[in-house]
Amino acid sequence: MDTIKTLAYAGLGLAVQTNEKVKNQFNELVELGKKSDLEGKNIVGDFFKTVDTAKEDLEGQIEKNKSKLYDTFPGLKELEEKLTEKAGEMKSTLKDTIGNAKNSFNKAEETNTEDAEIVEETTK
């Protein structure tokens, strides 16, 4: 009987010890995950700051070169303005065309729905 008690106590002790080790290891993993998350956010934040800075630098260089081109070729600015105006007109025309097509499609659907309802009534 003493052997059974001893084995039971040993098993209970092993379970308590294992439980404590698992809890400690779990807590260590949680802390490690929090550190990694914070470091990851810092890395991503730094990346986007770098991208924004590079974008601003590139835009500045483009504007400088654009000014040089306009000084060298005076008609170029006028041509760009005309092209921008035409592009705006084309966008507006395209929006109108798409809107008209949608309206036409919706009207066709409504007509088909009405026809289907009439067919149902006559077959009854």
Task: Look at residue 75 and tell me whether its pLDDT is greater than 70.
Answer: yes
pLDDT: is 105 or 114 the higher one? 105
The pLDDT value given to residue 122: 53
Query: What average pLDDT score do residues 30-50 get?
Result: 85
pTM for this prediction = 0.39
pLDDT band at 32; cut points 50, 70, 90: confident
pLDDT band at 113; cut points 50, 70, 90: low
Q: Structural domain boundaries of the chain?
A: 1-72, 81-124
Rounded-to-integer distance, Cα 63 and Cα 75, Å: 17
Task: Look at residue 117 and tell me whether its pLDDT is greater than 60.
Answer: no
